Amino acid sequence: MKNVLRRVAGLTAVLVVVGSGTAVAQDGATIEGLVWFDRNGNGRVDEGEPPLANGRGVRVFQGKQFIGEYGTDANGRYRATGLPASGLTIFSHNTDVYAATTESALYDKGAGTYDFGVRGGTVTGLAYVDANRDGVKQDGERPLQAPHRLGGRTATTTDGGYRVEDVPEGEHAFQAADLRRLSLVDSPELDWSTGAKKVFVGKGAEVRLDTRYFEPRGDFAVGPLVVTPAKDVYALNDEVEVVVTLTNKGDAPDSTSFVMASLAARLVSASDQVTITYPELGGEFELKQRLAPGASVDVRLRYALDQADIESFHVIVRLGAFGDVNFADNVSVRPISVRVPSSTAPSTTTTAAPTSTTGPSTTGPSTTAAPTTSTTPAAVAGGGRNSTGLARTGAAPLPFLVIGGLLLGGGVLTYLAARRRRA
């Protein structure tokens, strides 16, 4: 009887465990699926339609209770686990910026696979050389491969066209491609100087934006240099400001650089319109922004005149991106004069240079410079090999030599006598 009771109790325990396991499985439901760009809007995943990678996926509720948000991976797939087994509401989390091409809200769902299609906006247009600048693409006008950018996206290009797809709703920065040796045509579509434009793209909308280019004529000129303060002669270590006026005489926005040629003065500073590309020998400078046709800019450079051999400020303007049809106005020179101050300290002693001869010493007085205001006697160093200080005073040296010889002889005799006594 006891064995029967034990078996019944064990079976009951197993049933309880199984029942509990079923309940856990029901409360651990999984939903997953794909979010993709349905470019043709047919609600099916077609070849060439990309996933919405590493973005927003779905939001999940049970009734009014919010459960969670689940994003997509690199393949555009989302996955949510541990959900209630039923009564789930699943919303596509992208309909605020993309147009939905499938049902965007699913109600009373359980575990399963649910895919969501969205369609982004598109910016597209032509890119070509508008030779006559009439704004119309004619036969024979050259098409261009123009990798424009919209935000962080680079346009795909075709022969004479471009296209940026899967754009979320909002305002985006469009940047036209900088095509070497070509310039954008001045038009209301784009800012001529920068090639940029703010473009608003609606949900799933298509925006047309043509980009027209032409082959421009480049011509930069530099005006007369203005130096302040204006002086006839500058003192050593004076600081001056040099104003360099650059004008774009070409027919397209362009930028350039220039040098202050072979100038020994020290560059102190430059105004914000330029980048200093080389600070030595006067400096080399590059404009930070392109200038529109007819526009000018005043570049202010400050120098310290710390060398005496400065004779001029000499500016040479380099070619811009579109060359230069008139290089004669690319050079400007402003002569200046820098004076080194003379020393005002009084001289303490002036003597004649010592004379040097190869013959016998001259006993007569030598010629000396004019007397100075100093009251200190001149200390004269020995001159040539036959020149002595006594000769410079006019005194005869022979008596002094005799006296010196007698004293030296007496000293030697005294030394020898002392040694003999010790012996």
Model confidence over 302-315: pLDDT tens digits?
999 998 889 999 99
Residue with tokens 């450079």: 301
- Identify the burial level of 117 via C-beta atoms within 10 angstroms of its C-beta, where 0-12 means exposed, 13-18 middle and 19 or more buried: buried
Q: Where are the domains of the chain?
A: 23-118, 121-214, 220-339
- Identify the burial level of 316 via C-beta atoms within 10 angstroms of its C-beta, where 0-12 means exposed, 13-18 middle and 19 or more buried: middle
DSSP 294: T
Strand partners, 286: 257, 275
The CATH label, of 2.60.40.10, 3.90.600.10, 3.20.20.70, 2.40.50.660, for the domain at 23-118 is 2.60.40.10
Overall size of the chain counted in residues: 423
**Of 140-144, 173-177, 191-195, 333-337, where does mean pLDDT reach its minimum?**
191-195
Output the CA–CA distances (angstroms, integers) from residue 235 to 267, 308, 337, in the order listed.
17, 9, 9
**Of 91-95, 149-153, 358-362, 384-388, where does mean pLDDT reach its minimum?**
384-388
Cα–Cα distance between 314 and 282 in angstroms, integer? 9
Split at pLDDT 50, 70, 90, the class of 239 is very high
**Of 10-14, 54-58, 208-212, where does mean pLDDT reach its minimum?**
10-14
pLDDT tens digits for 191-228?
A: 888 899 999 999 999 999 999 999 999 999 999 999 99
Say yes or no: do domains 23-118 and 220-339 share a fold.
yes
CATH 2.60.40.1510 fits 220-339, yes or no: yes
CA 179, 184, 189 angle in degrees (round to 5)? 130
Q: Helices marked H in 108-191 — which ranges?
A: none
Please state, for a pLDDT cut of 90, what percent of the chain lies above it. Answer: 65
- Give the model's pLDDT for residue 181: 84
CATH 3.30.70.20 fits 121-214, yes or no: no
Q: Is residue 394 classed as helix, strand or coil in its secondary structure? A: coil
Q: What's phi and psi for 73, nearest 5 deg?
A: -95, -165
